[in-house]
Amino acid sequence: MNNTLFRVCPDTGLKFHRPAETLMKANAVAAVVFLLVGGFYALLVGLTRWQAVHLLAADQFYMVLTLHGLNVLIFWILFFEIALLYFCSSTLLGCRLAAPRFAWVGFALMLIGAVMNNVIVLQGNSSVMMTSYAPMGAHPVFYLSLILFAVGALIGCFVFFGTLVIAKDEKTYEGSVSLVTFGAITAAIIAVFTIISGAIILIPTLLWSLDLIAHIDALMYRLIWWGFGHSSQQINVSAHIAIWYAIAAIMFGAKPLSEKVSRMAFLMYILFLQLASVHHLLVDPGLSSEFKMFNTSYAMYLAVMASMVHGLTVPGSIEAAQRAKGLNNGLFEWLRKAPWGNPTFSGMFISLVGFGFLGGISGVVMGTEQINILLHNTLYVPGHFHATVVIGTTLAFMALTYWLVPILFRRELVMKKLASWQPYLFGGGMAGVALFLMGAGTVGVPRRHWDISFSDAAGAVYEFPGAANTMLALNGVFVILAVAGGAAFCVIVVASLLFGKKLGEDEKSPVPLIAEPPADADYEGIGSGTITVPGTLVFALVFFASFAIYYFVNWKYLGETWGIS
């Protein structure tokens, strides 16, 4: 092998293929730029829905809301995920990246698509929200930009698969790929399914917007679009859970409690998670209850089970490693003495807790066939997905980025004090956003709505309970906190890349960047009795109790409304 094509990281021993490294950097930088853009729009949205502030005019609000969703939910996350796929294949397997030029074509298509999309929406005639529900139409360039972006992302997935083949062929690793790479493979397989669903619906919609097709059936659009729209969120779930495992390994030298269970849980995502797209269609006409129940329970809640397994095994792997290192007293010594000032750890742990308690429970409850009647299209929905996608995915990506700055970019992190606070500011702010949006949703406040005082409506108005306006105001306050946290992240990363102390290729970072794994023998006799990770088990049981209580409370609410049959 040509050594100039590779460098070995002096801190971690990871082997970086230089062309892959450049691609990772480009994708990660693009990701942060779109996060910054989308985060700015978030502030405008939050301040407009705060009824007393009501910042933007209606047409601007709907335009900015469209831009907010696309920039942070699609562009930031997908660019980061492509970087992650290259890292989990080329770097973790220590092999060259397949077809780097092809990967650059993919990057260019994604960048062109994302920029085109922002430009066309800013022109004001494509304020159709991310879902662009036909027969409400956007400018053809709107659909074209998304198609270009998706093709670029698909190329990234194929480069990833090609790299796996090369690693296998050139025997750069022994036995099976690591658990984290396995999680990335899960994400990439779901991504292919997702992008194909997107192509099936967006290509005809583009032709329809060009008057080449006469009619798009609105119900068909919804069914297939959500095969794309929701599955894309399953890519994120697989990706950020892979990152949780990776950070546990990096920070603590953790290994999975058992490979079999964690890998099965990833596999179950591929088998069942896409069924979740029907969550969006629970109060639609024309679909049978059997179809809705089978799909929304992911065939008996098997994908929920997978997430709950990861929710146990990720902190469990940390607890076991900490106990093996001697933090074996009581239930929670391992957690108390965790590095809470390190943003890579705190970001990951807040991501885990927020995703489970706020995002997971609300998602399953709202995704129950009948309970959805109470909550469909209310602010509860964005409340739920700000917990899953922002606290879960975005914060996990941020946490990993703090670690990648010295490893990948060979720059020391600047503003370390601010960085140690950033996950709390962002995670705490976003937890408030999620809770108050969900709270407003439970009293019926609609999502994607400029003015719930109905001041422009001629005649009828609806007086929401006073709590609705209070919660929208509190949401506005927490949006400001979260945006400050997001901005802090962007500033720290950009400043580190520009001004951080350069680390030579063979120069070790002054602080260790990867933990030494405990020896196998140290794992003997940890925990209490046959329970190796009692603290995690207690956490899991608290989670379970909250879940069950909240689930049945919602059935009770449902029973109080009109008869529906």
Q: Which of residues 251-280 bind another protein (CB under 8 A)?
A: 253-261
* Amino acid identity, position 458: A
The correct pick among 23, 28, 31, 312 for binding another protein (CB under 8 A) is 312
Residue 376 CB, nearest approach to another protein (Å) = 4
Residue written as token pair 């807040």: 350
The string over 325-359, giving b where at least 16 C-beta atoms fall within 10 Å of a residue's C-beta and e elsewhere, is bebbeebbbbbeebeeebbbbbbbbbbbbbbbbbb
Does 556 contact another protein by CB under 8 A? Answer: no
Q: Half-sphere exposure (CA, 13 Å, Cβ side) for 114?
A: 28
The correct pick among 126, 233, 236, 536 for binding another protein (CB under 8 A) is 536
282 burial via Cβ count (<10 Å: 0-12, 13-18, 19+): buried
Q: Between residue 81 and residue 140, which ones bind another protein under the rule CB under 8 A? A: 92, 127, 129, 133, 135-136
* Residue span binding another protein (CB under 8 A) among the ranges 228-236, 351-359, 396-404, 534-542: 534-542
8 Å CB contact between 129 and 61 = no
Q: Which is nearer to another protein, 101 or 260 (CB)?
A: 260
Q: Which is nearer to another protein, 117 or 422 (CB)?
A: 117
Residue 260 CB, nearest approach to another protein (Å) = 5
Q: Between residue 489 and residue 528, which ones bind another protein under the rule CB under 8 A? A: 517
Residue 298 CB, nearest approach to another protein (Å) = 9
Structure-token pair, residue 226: 């959500």
8 Å CB contact between 71 and 91 = no
Q: Which is nearer to another protein, 195 or 265 (CB)?
A: 265
The correct pick among 6, 332, 454, 550 for binding another protein (CB under 8 A) is 454
Residue 151 CB, nearest approach to another protein (Å) = 27
Residue 424 CB, nearest approach to another protein (Å) = 25
The correct pick among 237, 268, 374, 440 for binding another protein (CB under 8 A) is 374
Structure-token pair, residue 360: 């997971």
The correct pick among 287, 331, 418, 490 for binding another protein (CB under 8 A) is 287
The correct pick among 373, 473, 490, 494 for binding another protein (CB under 8 A) is 373
> Which H helix or E strand runs over 8?
strand 6-8
436 burial via Cβ count (<10 Å: 0-12, 13-18, 19+): buried
The correct pick among 317, 342, 394, 509 for binding another protein (CB under 8 A) is 317
The correct pick among 119, 122, 531, 549 for binding another protein (CB under 8 A) is 531
Secondary structure letter of residue 507 according to DSSP: P
Cα-to-chain-centroid distance, residue 81: 9
Residue 96 CB, nearest approach to another protein (Å) = 18
The correct pick among 341, 499, 542, 555 for binding another protein (CB under 8 A) is 555
* Residue span binding another protein (CB under 8 A) among the ranges 97-105, 191-199, 289-297, 476-484: 289-297
| Interface map 1-20 toward another protein (x if CB under 8 A) | --------------------
8 Å CB contact between 35 and 486 = yes
Does 564 contact another protein by CB under 8 A? Answer: yes
Residue 343 CB, nearest approach to another protein (Å) = 19
- How big is the site for another protein, counted in residues (CB under 8 A)? 109
Strand partners, 528: 531
The 3-state DSSP class for residue 502 equals strand
Residue 535 CB, nearest approach to another protein (Å) = 10
Q: Between residue 177 and residue 196, which ones bind another protein under the rule CB under 8 A? A: 177-181
Does 302 contact another protein by CB under 8 A? Answer: yes
Instruction: Tell me how far apart the alpha carbons of residues 537 and 554 are, in angstroms, rounded to a whole number.
Output: 26
Instruction: Tell me how far apart the alpha carbons of residues 396 and 425 are, in angstroms, rounded to a whole number.
Output: 14
Residue 111 CB, nearest approach to another protein (Å) = 28
Cα–Cα nearest to 438, from 463, 461, 466, 467: 467
Q: Between residue 138 and residue 177, which ones bind another protein under the rule CB under 8 A? A: 173-177
- First-last CA distance in the chain: 69
* Amino acid identity, position 242: A
Instruction: Tell me how far apart the alpha carbons of residues 90 and 100 are, in angstroms, rounded to a whole number.
Output: 11
| Interface map 53-82 toward another protein (x if CB under 8 A) | -----xx--x--------------------
Q: Is 8 left (phi over 0), alpha (psi -120 to 50) or beta?
A: beta
Q: Between residue 411 and residue 450, which ones bind another protein under the rule CB under 8 A? A: 443-444, 446-450
Residue 140, C-beta contacts closer than 8 angstroms, at least 6 positions apart: 206, 209, 210
- Give the CA-trace dihedral at 403, 361, 36, 149, to 10 degrees: 100
Q: Between residue 209 and residue 248, which ones bind another protein under the rule CB under 8 A? A: 217-219, 222, 245-246, 248
Instruction: Tell me how far apart the alpha carbons of residues 365 and 554 are, in angstroms, rounded to a whole number.
Output: 8
CB-CB neighbours of 524 under 10 Å: 8
Residue 495 CB, nearest approach to another protein (Å) = 28
Q: Which is nearer to another protein, 1 or 461 (CB)?
A: 461
Instruction: Tell me how far apart the alpha carbons of residues 471 and 73 are, in angstroms, rounded to a whole number.
Output: 24
Instruction: Tell me how far apart the alpha carbons of residues 52 and 16 are, in angstroms, rounded to a whole number.
Output: 52
* Residue span binding another protein (CB under 8 A) among the ranges 46-54, 185-193, 224-232, 369-377: 369-377
The correct pick among 117, 313, 342, 401 for binding another protein (CB under 8 A) is 313
The correct pick among 309, 419, 433, 503 for binding another protein (CB under 8 A) is 309
Instruction: Tell me how far apart the alpha carbons of residues 508 and 137 are, in angstroms, rounded to a whole number.
Output: 55
